[in-house]
């Protein structure tokens, strides 16, 4: 049998770990016009969001459906332009006025892993073709080198290279997600956005995929934005966590700090809703009210319509995102110890 042509080696050279921001988002907003003429309204999907992601780090982005998580992910990968603010990604600054030329330098270095691996793969293409597609589009490698590269990528995500000739329907959901991850790694990215990447999998498969992502991060020096609505999943996958509510970041903190002492009442409510063993007759606390309409947000704090601590000041004045050591929180009641929030 002829020797397989050598494929490019994935290396950590030049990629420092957890040392400086790889991604910085500053006052990022995205609005959508709904209707026209006199009936025109503005939906503020993302409003004045700021955070950063260090090299080699996973930032978990968590919040209820409609909080703006996926909109942020789409802006970071270039499929949606921001309305205002700026994103600095791998040294490239992107603003509302940035064009294709600005994004062209980032296409290979920023990749996306979708929620539904079945929908993300062309059912008419063999999985080896799907993984090789980014290499073909970018004009990377000869055909023999692409074949070798695909085999290496299959092995990297824990699948036999001999399975490249199979079609997506021949794989389980967890195996398909491994294939989608292999395709995302084809161009040696540095930053990967995982949008609900394990939401469609059962609990055991979720754990396997999260462990795979962690292993790849250690081996390849990857940085992740891990978008999810499930706090337990975000806790397992992330180094730091940013909590979104109605299009705004209300708290960011290292994982252990956020779970030990949440400083925002919405974060506390999310943690209280996580399933856990309870005493007989004990019911989980229920957060009352509804998420405000993004077309008509309340004055002051967005969470004031549901918050058990809210007063007139909260309903008049929007809280700024303040720093407390390594964490930030947007709440008038927040203190370094978070005593008031824990007692709510």
Q: Please list the residues that pair with 195 across neighbouring strands.
A: 227
Average pLDDT over residues 101-119: 87
**Residue 163 scores a pLDDT above 90:** yes
pLDDT given for residue 188 in this prediction? 94
Average pLDDT over residues 307-317: 93
Mean of all residue pLDDT scores within the chain:
87
Average pLDDT over residues 59-76: 93
**Residue 178 scores a pLDDT above 50:** yes
Average pLDDT over residues 327-332: 94
Name the nearest CA neighbour of 141 among 172, 96, 186: 186
Three-state secondary-structure class, residue 103:
helix
Three-state secondary-structure class, residue 161:
helix
Which has more pLDDT, 337 or 25? Answer: 25
In this structure, are residues 59 and 239 in contact, taking their beta carbons and an 8 Å threshold? yes
CA atoms within 13 A on the CB side of 185: 29
- Crossing angle of helices 173-184 and 203-220, in 10° steps, is 20
- Crossing angle of helices 127-137 and 173-184, in 10° steps, is 20
pLDDT in tens, 207-241: 999 999 999 999 999 999 999 988 889 999 999 99
Domain ranges across the chain: 254-275+287-342
* Segment (H or E) for 267: helix 265-272
pLDDT given for residue 16 in this prediction? 39
**Residue 85 carries which DSSP code?**
E
SS3 content of the chain, % helix, strand, coil (to 5): 35, 20, 45
pTM for the full predicted model: 0.87
| Torsion of Cα atoms, 120 then 125 then 130 then 133, to 10° | -120
**Residue 344 scores a pLDDT above 80:** no
Query: In the numeric block, which tokens belong to residue 156?
Result: 């990297």
């Amino acid at each position: 049998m002829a020797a397989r042509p050598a494929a490019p080696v994935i290396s950590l050279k030049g990629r420092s770990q957890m040392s400086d921001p790889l991604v910085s988002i500053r006052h990022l907003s995205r609005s959508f016009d709904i209707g026209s003429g006199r009936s025109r309204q503005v939906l503020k999907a993302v409003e004045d969001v700021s955070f950063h992601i260090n090299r080699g780090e996973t930032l978990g982005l968590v919040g209820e459906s409609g909080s703006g998580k996926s909109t942020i992910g789409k802006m970071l990968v270039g499929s949606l332009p921001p309305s205002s603010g700026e994103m600095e990604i791998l040294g490239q600054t992107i603003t509302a006025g940035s064009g294709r030329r600005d994004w062209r330098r980032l296409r290979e270095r920023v990749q996306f892993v979708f929620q539904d691996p079945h929908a993300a793969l062309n059912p008419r293409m063999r999985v080896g073709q799907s993984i090789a597609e980014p290499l073909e589009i970018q004009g990377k490698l000869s055909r023999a080198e692409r074949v070798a590269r695909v085999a290496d990528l299959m092995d990297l995500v824990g699948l036999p290279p001999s399975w490249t000739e199979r079609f997506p329907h021949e794989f389980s959901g967890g195996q398909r997600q491994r294939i989608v991850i292999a395709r995302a790694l084809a161009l040696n990215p540095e930053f990967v956005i995982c949008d609900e990447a394990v939401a469609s999998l059962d609990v055991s498969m979720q754990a396997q995929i999260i462990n795979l992502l962690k292993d790849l991060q250690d081996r390849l020096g990857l940085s992740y934005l891990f978008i999810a609505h499930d706090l337990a999943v975000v806790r397992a996958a992330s180094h730091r966590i940013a909590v979104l509510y109605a299009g705004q970041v209300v708290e960011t903190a290292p994982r252990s700090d956020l779970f030990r002492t949440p400083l925002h009442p919405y974060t506390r409510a999310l943690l209280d809703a996580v399933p856990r063993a309870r005493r007989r007759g004990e019911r989980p606390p229920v957060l009352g009210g509804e998420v405000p309409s993004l077309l008509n947000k309340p004055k002051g704090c967005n969470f004031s319509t549901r918050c058990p601590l809210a007063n007139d000041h909260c309903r008049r004045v929007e809280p700024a995102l303040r720093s407390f050591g390594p964490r930030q929180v947007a709440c008038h009641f927040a203190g370094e110890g978070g005593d008031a929030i824990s007692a709510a």
